[in-house]
Structure 1
Amino acid sequence: MKTYKQITPEMIQKDIRYLELLSHDFPNLAAASTEIINLEAILNLPKGTEHFLADLHGEYEAFQHVLRNASGAIKRKVNEIFGNNLREMEKKELCTLIYYPEQKLQLVKEVEKDLVDWYVITLNQLVKVCQNVSSKYTRSKVRKALPEEFSYIIQELLHESPMDPNKQAYINVIIRTIIETRRADDFIIALCNLIQRLTIDSLHILGDIFDRGPGPHIIMDTLCNYHNFDIQWGNHDILWMGAASGNDCCIANVLRLAMRYGNLPALEDGYGINLLPLATFAMEAYANDPCEYFAPKIAPESSSYNDKTLRLISQMHKAITIIQFKLEAAAIRRHPEFDMDSRLLLHHIDFKRKVFQLDGKDYEMRDCLFPTIDPENPYQLTEEEEEIVQKLHKSFTGSEKLRKHMKCIFRYGCMYNVCNSNLLFHASMPMNADGTLKEVDILGKKYKGEALLKRVGQLIRTAYFAEEDDPEKAFARDFIWYLWCGKNSPAFDKSKMATFERYFLTDKETHKEVKGYYYTLRDREDICDMILDEFGVEGEHRHIINGHVPVKAVKGEKPIKANGKLMVIDGGFSKAYQPETGIAGYTLVYHSRGFQLVQHEPFTSTQKAIEEGQDIKSTTQIVELSSQRMMVKDTDKGRELMVQIEDLKKLLVAYQNGIIKERGI
């Protein structure tokens, strides 16, 4: 960073227009120098704590709990602060209060005999926790996070030391007055929310918010109101973005997955999607079809559906699956450049013999009832199916809640992100067998690596935001569907999506989806370094962070690969994956002292967390520790602040030499 003596009048003249604009915010020497002092102080604070989560798949209760307990960080801080001064049960009760203040307060009032005494003790404890979690931030940053109605009081409590007898008396008066004015409940809630907010400085979601679990809309509501986050789009997010853009193939896939996992409330209650036309059609068209292989994947103990409803969902599931195959066939024929003719499968069914024929071989079919397929023209939608598609299209594109969430996911999301020497993307980087980046043809031009992800991101935005007369709009809308299931998609990168085979063919060899080369090559440190170089990621400790492929911890698979250069943090938040992974998700935590990977056990329920104090059992593994504590100056934000300081120094010299006149003196 240049000193004042190194700043010449020529340098100032070069930036004079910008400096004149800057002078409106800092109109004199005093204002500019004060800001320099402030920014220099910020540079020397510890870096904020970043949390990385992936593949949430609608599991909103577990996700919200992990945010509330900061992946176990709040519990750890409570243990550090109070140690043996509190019993384990008291610390557990305090943690539960911090996580769920409104609900816990109601329970306390039902059993606590001396509520005033409880308020005094609890408020003092919460102040101590709040002082601890706010210590790494400037007063200005903490002040911005404070609830307006209690801002002044909280500031007074946070910045007064109880070690001074006079100050302790002052604190006691404040707390007593809060209780006497009957604001204790509101104040406790405000403090607890502040602790949650300050414990996680920034949140990175590495894709797949949607599908499988019951509450993707609730997760999106939480994120849209969160203080600092970003999203790297996953294939399931892109599928929903395609549905919101009006791609009928994406709409059918979204509906099929909802039926497969029995998540109708997410569609109907969450997004106001009208499923009645599909239900009416399915009941009539598949009245004589048992649809046994289309029963939703719901554990009996967690199902709220009766047998009649399960039967209806199965019928709707099969109906939308067949519609999906027909719609996808039309998209494949529109775009021979997608090279997906191998996914045209309905015409390989021998309806008389009830077998599937491919390459001269017969495959046994476990279901061969197709009341809506014309063997002479298997990819033609019936009139009723066409009507269903039109109504569903209107319902998705007209959903106000879906539009709101799409606005959020576009505003805070992208295909990849580079943050503090970490390259974040959901799934894959298309590669050749020799370890080179694969070139992917899009509209006659080849892209690879960073350029590919940028182009993909542009097309997704074009599909959603461009006017209908935009020449790229129609292609972009279909390309979103390709990103969901195409072999060269960085969000998928497999040989095929074997949807038809898994539903209809008994031969499990046909179900296999061969992963792209990236999924094995990424175990090599040299490959990770090559990719990091491609994206311009610098730093002594740099990493790639992915989700998408569940880590089978139960079989001994490790999430840390390539000698620590790559971390895969899909640990199975989705209950559907937990038998496969043996755990219930990861949180990667990056604080001022390094990386820690937090491995979560299955979450019971929010109700048990509140009533019984059941926390998620988590195991913390140290991934990488820094020899020196990382400060703000070591981060991307720190580098931005250094540039601001440099500009302010130029402004100071401009004032000192009369090049720009001071104002407001």
Structure 2
Amino acid sequence: MSNKALSFKRPEANLSSLELLAAEFSNTDAAIAEIARLSAVQTLPRGAIHMISDIHGEDKKLRHVINNASGTLRPIVEHMFGDTMDRETLKEFLTITFYPAEVTEQLEQTLTDPLELKAYARKILNPQFELLRHLMANYSLKLATELLPVDFKNLLWEILHAPTREHGNEFVEAIIDELQRQGRLLHLIHIVGRLIRNLAVDELIIGGDCWDRGPRGDRVVDYLRLQPNVSFIWGNHDALWIGAALGNDALICTALRVSLRYRRISQLDEGYSIPMTPLEHLAREVYANDPAEFFMPKGSGMRPKELVARMQKAIAVMQFKLEGQLIERNPQWQLDHRRLMHRIDLDNGTIEIDGVVYELRDKRLPTVDPEHPYTLTTEEQDCLDRLKGSFLSSQKMREQVRYMVGHGSMYLQRGDCLIFHGCVPVDTEGKFLDLEIDGQALSGKALFEEIEVVVRRALEQRKTPDLDFLWYLWCGPLSPLFGKDRIATLERDLIADKTPHRENKDPYFDLIHEAGFCSQVLEAFGADPEQGLIVNGHVPVKLKQGESPIKRSGKAITIDGAFSEAYGDHGYTLVLEPGRIVLAEHHHFESMESAIKDGVDIVPKTQEIRVFDTPQQTKDTERGQRIKYRMMELNRLIEAYRSNRLHEQ
């Protein structure tokens, strides 16, 4: 049946945008009611936004930080129930709030007595519902409804409104009795616990670098995909894994090399179904007698460390060759000085870098042909072909990369915060530097936005120039995700002299201590140059050396707090609340088992960064801007109805 509201007396181009809106609000009263509802929503407190950066594969720690809402749930629970719960009950309630699935799974096995189960359910569910009501008060009814699990939506609404009924306790008891009879009582506790966590954080922003160094980057992305509202800012390690997943040869080798260096092989073979057999075969056949003493992996694992070292060396040499090929086919980047393999003198055991000759500490390079130093041997090419096939056929990797690209961007603005991973490439005077993309020289905001175009295009088309550009994002001198003049992997692997190991940072990292420069960056990206705050990750804050995450300018902050154990095992969450911005500093997380069994928690140290004179409302946010636009469109619809240019239904 056609919708009469979509018919109009005469065709007008400016009415076409109202067609879908008219289908949803088919008369004036419906549109007016929606405007009134949205006007009320605009007055609600802005939702809490949590920003975490540089997770680097630490899946268990990330999971706990998400589960306890970066430490913000505990004080709410203690405030609400501290006077009515004893210490053990409070700990028990917090544990099931943080780990509802795991705790209820254990209780399924241990809590078998019906009376004990019912008593436990009353003890947990009543405060759960009270906490749920408290958190839902900050949400519009429509948004809160969207967060409710579909199968239990109607039941939960009934329970949440039960206290207003004349026989509230009897009403809830009837629900508990039936769920117990059906064996689903603990499941209700589970889903309410998960809903509490989801309501505690309106948006989770990941500031880049989900993979590398930590044990399971695949599980990091898996868990993030389970969260209701996640946005990504891409980091250079994300560019590395996106490019590897899409088939860039050099990035495949790099991802493998880093995984082998830190013995993170399980994320490849278990997580992504990428077997190491081809590389292991190459190492055994070609590097069988090589001690590979300068490639010894960190940590421990099932494979002999000597074998892992040979595997790492084999893939590193392949990486260096393939990077040389990639640089040669992209002369616009002017990186010929970083093609290093032809500068190796095997006869003398030396290498020339930037005009200086250094002795090689490892002179065993059996696959390097001095006449063709960038050509893979037959054995190397066969190994690469097999590994590449595994990367391209990994369904899980493909799904994760598509999710990250679909939910990701180069920068975001939330309130006063301008968020991006690394830097804005500049010279020593603070002038934005150009990078050529698709024949255009771009800088600043235009550069960031064009990079997004290339990344999304690479996902869909997988053309070589775009995949090569992902390599440049990983380690190119003018990459906003990298911010150094070079990545000195070859130098660190093959040269004992530390002089060529140095990687010089972009001047940006010094200039963000100056308020004027920060104002320049904020204004260029459309943020408030006076009140704005630049939020970066990428460079770990040296907490042990007393370094502060807040820059001297007071207008920039680094939230890479060395989340990964390999970097320092700390980490930050920047929390945007209606009335303030808070930095939460995390510490070592023992294990999920100790959290469940002993109630071990990460209770972060917090520091207020900004306090607002007036608490921010939804109207002050990006969501508020979208609502404002929708209200304008609804007013246009009302005007069209009243002028009879559109017919009401």
Asked if Structure 1 and Structure 2 have the same fold, meaning a TM-score greater than 0.5 normalized by the shorter chain, the answer is yes
1:236-259 deviation per Cα after TM superposition (whole angstroms, max 9, x unaligned): 111111112221111111111111
User: Secondary structure, in 3 states, of the residue corresponding to 2:441?
Assistant: strand
CA distance in 2, matches of 1:327, 1:29: 64
Is 1:325 the counterpart of 2:320? The answer is yes
Of 108, 121, 124, the residue aligned with 2:123 is: 121
Instruction: Specify the alignment match of 1:453 in structure 2.
Output: 448
Query: Which ranges in structure 2 are unaligned for 5 or more consecutive residues?
Result: 1-10
Whether 2:367 is the aligned partner of 1:366: answer: no
**Distance in structure 1 (CA, Å) of the matches to 2:151 and 2:574:** 34
Q: Could you tell me which of 435, 441, 463 is aligned with 2:430? A: 435
Aligned mates of 1:400, 1:359 — CA distance in 2: 43
Q: In structure 2, what is the equivalent of residue 32 of structure 1?
A: 31
Match of 1:53 in 2: 52
In structure 1, the residue matched to 2:524 is 534
Work out the percentage of aligned pairs sharing the same amino acid: 36
Q: Provide, for residues 554-583 of structure 1, a one-character-per-residue CA deviation record: whole Å limited to 9, x for no partner.
A: 2111112254321211111111101xxxx5
Tell me the amino acid that sits aligned with residue 146 of structure 1.
L
What is the aligned partner in structure 2 of residue 146 from structure 1? Answer: 148
Other-structure match for 2:195: 194
Which residue does 1:7 correspond to in 2? none
Match of 1:650 in 2: 636
Aligned residues: 636
Mapped to 1, the partners of 2:552 and 2:178 lie a distance apart of: 58
Change (3 A) 1:106 1:553: same
Q: CA deviation at 1:84?
A: 2.5
| Aligned match of 2:168 | 167
Conservation of the 8 A alpha-carbon contact between 1:427 and 1:546: yes
Query: What's the CA shift string for 1:580-609, capped at 9, x where partnerless?
Result: xxx521111111112111110011111111
CA distance in 2, matches of 1:21, 1:104: 46
CA distance in 2, matches of 1:42, 1:121: 34
Per-residue CA deviations over 1:275-317 (Å, capped at 9, x if unaligned) read 211110111111111112211111xxxx342xx5322211100
Aligned partners of 1:421 and 1:539 also within 8 Å: no
The code of the aligned residue for 1:641 comes to: I
1:483 aligns with 2:487: no
- Equivalence for 2:621: 635
Q: What is the CA distance between 1:358 and its match in structure 2?
A: 4.6
Code of the residue aligned with 1:407 in structure 2: it is: R
Mapped contact 1:528–1:562 kept (Cα < 8 A) = no
Change (3 A) 1:40 1:239: same
The alignment partner of 1:84 has SS state of coil
1:165-217 Cα distance to aligned partner (Å, 9 max, x none):
74344444444444454321111011001101111111111111111112111
Verify the 8 A CA contact 2:424 2:432 in the aligned structure 1: yes
Answer whether contact 1:20 1:660 (CA < 8 A) is retained. Answer: no
Instruction: Provide the C-alpha distance between the structure 1 equivalents of 2:141 and 2:458, rounded to a whole number of angstroms.
Output: 43
SS of the aligned residue for 2:608 comes to strand
Tell me which residue corresponds to 1:245.
246
Q: Aligned partners of 1:466, 1:348: CA distance in 2, in Å?
A: 35
Deviation string 1:35-80 (CA, Å, 9 cap, x unpaired) is: 1121111111111111111111111111111111111122121111
- Computed over aligned residues only, the root mean square deviation of the Cα atoms, in angstroms, reads 2.2
Per-residue deviation, 1:505: 1.3
* Counterpart-to-counterpart distance in 1, 2:468 and 2:224: 28
> Matched residues in 1 for 2:111 and 2:385: separation?
56
Offset at 1:460?
A: 2.4
Give the equivalent residue in structure 2 for 1:524.
514
AA of the residue aligned to 1:478: D
Q: Amino acid of the residue matched to residue 209 of structure 2? A: D
Superposed CA deviations along residues 209-231 of structure 1, whole A, max 9, x for unmatched, are 11111211112222233211111
Partner of 1:94: 93
Between the aligned partners of 2:372 and 2:265, the Cα distance in structure 1 is 31
- One-letter amino acid of the counterpart of residue 531, structure 1: V
Indicate the residue corresponding to 1:280 in structure 2: 281
Larger deviation, residues 395-404 vs 431-440: 395-404
| TM-score with structure 2 setting the length | 0.93
**Paired position in structure 2 for 1:515:** 505
Deviations along 1:13-37, one digit per CA (max 9) or x if unpaired, are: 8843434542221111221122112
Corresponding residue of 2:608: 622
**C-alpha separation in 1, matches of 2:348 and 2:642:** 92
1:203-352 superposed matches below 5 A: 203-298=204-299, 303-305=300-302, 308-352=303-347
- Compared with structure 1, are the counterparts of its residues 457 and 94 closer, same or farther at alpha carbon in structure 2 (3 Å cutoff)? same
Q: What is the alpha-carbon distance in structure 2 between the residues aligned to residue 395 and residue 106 of structure 1? A: 35
Is the deviation greater in 230-239 or in 78-87? 78-87
Q: Give the match's secondary structure for 1:104.
A: helix
The code of the aligned residue for 2:377 comes to T
Once residues 124 and 178 of structure 2 are traced to their aligned partners in structure 1, the CA distance between those partners, rounded to angstroms, is 15
| Candidates 534, 547, 558, aligned match of 1:557 | 547
For residues 384 and 20 of structure 1, the distance between their equivalents in structure 2, rounded to whole angstroms, comes to 61
Counterpart of 1:413 in structure 2 is 408
| Residues 471-510 of structure 1, C-alpha deviations (whole Å, 9 max, x = no match) | xx33222222122121111111211111011112112222
Counterpart-to-counterpart distance in 2, 1:446 and 1:170:
67
**How big is each residue's C-alpha offset from its partner over 1:622-645, in whole Å with a ceiling of 9 and x where there is no partner?**
111111111111111112212222
C-alpha offsets along residues 437-489 of structure 1, whole Å, 9 cap, x if unaligned? Answer: 1122335431110111122222223333227xxxxx33222222122121111
**CA gap 1:160/1:633 in 2 versus in 1, 3 angstroms:** farther
1:85 matched to 2:84: yes
Tell me: CA distance 1:485–1:279, structure 2 relative to 1, closer, same or farther (3 Å).
Answer: same
My pick for the range that moved more, 150-159 or 32-41, is 150-159
> d(CA) in 2 for partners of 1:112 and 1:585?
40
In 1: Cα distance, 2:238 partner to 2:276 partner? 21
The structure-2 alpha-carbon separation of the partners of 1:181 and 1:404, relative to structure 1 and needing over 3 Å to count, comes to closer
Change (3 A) 1:527 1:116: same
Which of these residues, 485, 500, 516, is aligned with residue 490 of structure 2? 500
Q: Secondary structure at the match of 2:95?
A: helix
Whether contact under 8 Å (1:119, 1:179) holds in the other structure is no
Match of 2:3 in 1: none
Contact 1:50 1:591 in 2 (8 A): yes
Other-structure match for 1:9: none
Report if aligned partners of 1:414, 1:457 keep a CA contact under 8 Å in 2: yes
Whether the 8 Å contact between 1:123 and 1:175 is mirrored in structure 2 is no
Point out the more displaced range, 344-353 or 210-219.
344-353
Residue 403 of structure 1: how far off its partner (Å): 1.4
Retained in 1: the 8 A contact 2:562–2:570? yes
Cα separation, 2, equivalents of 1:121 and 1:569: 39
Distance 1:216 1:269 in 2: 12
Could you tell me how far 1:119 is from its partner in structure 2?
1.6
Matched, 1:387 2:382: yes
